[in-house]
């Protein structure tokens, strides 16, 4: 038979029960406050849409010291971007001007170019560029090619060293790194000082990077001459040579970059192209209205749909669509225009119920490159037939793309949430950071409203 507790025991049990309830309540309130201060933001968009550059802009504005600590780690990445650009130029020169024939002997190229080759488009029996080429260019370009081949030959070795053994399926070449690669390099720099450290290199990177740096310094005259050579500029203007977006910036600054004491500037870091494997997380402590918030930025790469279940509690989505890419097609599917691909991906995000509670920010990105292409006379209707006979100027083209994305949002968004839309150029530091502030405030208003604190 159970013995009844005395009034004192009942009172003590009630006190303990109440104390437990109060502790649980405090823990719930603490968790609620913590959740209120955790802001999970997903950066979404196709490859080369500007996600990583936006992350760097957040870092530059809210956590500049971490970027300062990482600065030496970006040095070999800049070198790799330059090597890749030079190799792409030399490959195109070989194709269009036949610099690789006869073993690359400059004397053999002083005669009229051969017409036995075929163009890449498959139309005609020879490259149309030959008809506009000055025969005097060929010995000059062939000589530059031969001098720069040793530098270009180190591209794969540098890529392998920077990737740390990471490979991707399909045999693709390039630099591929995992999340946190800068932190690993920063840790390496905490080892005892050496000449490599003073040059801004980590012990893991120093071997090949040092060779490349030395060769760059010895070759900067040839690189500069190659870049500004009328034969190369002719290919650029005729759109035969299509370099990646960073190339012109780095090649035009080769004398600064080739100096022995070079460290990447903020602009250099914003321009670099680096492919990260998997999902990368970046944390920032952001003070808004006197309250500190922990922002978690996720740059999602790889498979487009596999990540969705892991981010159903996202506070916001920032979707980047590069509207300068109207004349480009997907590498994995040459039939798909990159603007169409962005619209399809945006449709998927708007219609996904698991992401329906997240605030939605759309950045129509790379407006600077769009202006450049339109000013160069590239016609939108040549690549997007539905554009028709509309004026081929920035105002009309940008509004045309904006209207299409807004239409997707109106028709497909499952939550009928507001859409915060901005035209952006991620390389414009001042303008982008102003947008970051506005976006941050919009996300915070949405977040506080959702959790009942606004």
Q: What is the pLDDT of residues 124-182, one digit of tens each?
A: 334 445 556 777 888 889 999 999 999 999 998 888 888 775 655 554 556 666 555 55
At 119, is the pLDDT very low, low, confident or very high (cuts 50, 70, 90)?
Answer: very low
For the domain made up of 303-450, give the CATH fold. Rossmann fold (3.40.50)
Phi and psi at 197, nearest 5°, equal -65, -45
At 274, is the pLDDT very low, low, confident or very high (cuts 50, 70, 90)?
Answer: confident
Q: What is the pLDDT of residues 211-253, one digit of tens each?
A: 999 999 999 999 999 999 999 998 988 888 889 888 999 999 9
Of the listed ranges 310-314, 328-332, 387-391, the least confidently predicted one is: 310-314
At 103, is the pLDDT very low, low, confident or very high (cuts 50, 70, 90)?
Answer: very low
Domain segments of the chain: what residues? 71-271, 303-450
Q: How far apart are CA 69 and CA 292, in angstroms?
A: 23
Closest CA to 296 of 29, 67, 72, 63: 63
Contacts of 89 (CB under 8 A, 6+ apart): 226, 227, 232, 241, 243
Of the listed ranges 34-38, 61-65, 367-371, the least confidently predicted one is: 34-38
DSSP string of 175-231, one letter each residue:
-EEETTHHHHHHHHTTSSP-HHHHTT--TTTHHHHHHHHHHHHHHHHHHHHHHH-HH
Pure H helices in 313-427: 338-350, 367-375, 394-412
Model pLDDT, residue 276 = 73
Strand, helix or coil for residue 3: coil
Q: How far apart are CA 134 and CA 144, in angstroms?
A: 16
How many residues would you count in the chain? 454
With b for 16 or more beta-carbon neighbours within 10 A and e for fewer, the 146-157 pattern comes to: bbbeebbebbee
Average pLDDT for the chain:
81
Of the listed ranges 31-35, 60-64, 91-95, 269-273, the least confidently predicted one is: 31-35
At 324, is the pLDDT very low, low, confident or very high (cuts 50, 70, 90)?
Answer: very high
Q: How far apart are CA 342 and CA 431, in angstroms?
A: 23
Q: How far is CA 155 from CA 77, 81, 242, 402, in A?
A: 11, 9, 19, 39
State the pTM of this model.
0.79
């Amino acid at each position: 038979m159970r013995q009844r507790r005395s009034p004192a025991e009942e009172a003590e049990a009630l006190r303990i029960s109440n104390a437990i309830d109060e502790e649980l309540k405090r823990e719930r309130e603490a968790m609620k406050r913590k959740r209120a201060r955790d802001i999970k933001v997903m950066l979404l968009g196709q490859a080369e849409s500007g996600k990583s550059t936006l992350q760097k802009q957040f870092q530059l504005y809210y956590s500049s010291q971490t970027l300062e600590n990482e600065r030496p780690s970006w040095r070999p990445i800049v070198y790799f971007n330059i090597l890749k650009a030079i190799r792409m130029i030399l490959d195109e020169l070989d194709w269009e001007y036949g610099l690789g024939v006869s073993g690359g002997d400059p004397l053999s190229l002083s005669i009229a170019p051969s017409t036995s080759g075929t163009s890449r488009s498959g139309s005609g029996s020879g490259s149309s560029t030959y008809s506009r080429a000055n025969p005097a260019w060929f010995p000059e370009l062939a000589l530059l090619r031969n001098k720069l081949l040793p530098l270009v030959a180190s591209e794969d070795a540098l890529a392998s060293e920077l990737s740390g053994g990471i490979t991707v399926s399909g045999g693709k070449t390039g630099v591929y790194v995992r999340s946190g690669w800068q932190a690993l390099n920063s840790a390496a720099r905490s080892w005892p000082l050496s000449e490599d450290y003073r040059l801004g290199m980590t012990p893991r990177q120093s071997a090949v990077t040092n060779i490349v740096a030395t060769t760059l310094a010895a070759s900067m005259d040839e690189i500069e001459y190659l870049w500004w050579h009328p034969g190369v500029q002719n290919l650029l203007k005729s759109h035969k040579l299509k370099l990646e977006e960073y190339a012109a910036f780095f090649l035009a600054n080769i004398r600064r970059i080739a100096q022995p004491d070079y460290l990447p500037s903020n602009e250099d870091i914003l321009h670099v192209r680096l492919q990260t494997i998997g999902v990368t997380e970046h944390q920032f402590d952001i003070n808004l209205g006197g309250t500190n918030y922990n922002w978690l930025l996720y740059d999602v790469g790889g498979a487009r749909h596999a990540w969705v279940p892991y981010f159903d509690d996202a506070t916001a989505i920032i979707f980047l669509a590069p509207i300068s890419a109207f004349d480009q097609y997907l590498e994995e599917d040459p039939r798909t225009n990159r603007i169409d691909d962005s619209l399809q991906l945006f449709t998927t995000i708007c219609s996904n119920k698991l992401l329906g509670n997240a605030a939605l920010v759309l950045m129509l990105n790379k407006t600077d490159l769009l202006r450049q292409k339109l000013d160069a006379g590239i016609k939108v209707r040549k690549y997007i037939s539905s554009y028709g006979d509309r004026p081929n100027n920035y105002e009309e083209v940008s509004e045309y793309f904006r209207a299409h994305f807004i239409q997707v949002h109106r028709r497909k968004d499952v939550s009928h949430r507001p859409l915060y839309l901005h035209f952006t150029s991620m390389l414009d530091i001042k303008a982008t950071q102003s947008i970051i502030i506005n976006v941050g405030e919009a996300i915070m208003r949405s977040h506080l409203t959702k959790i009942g604190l606004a």
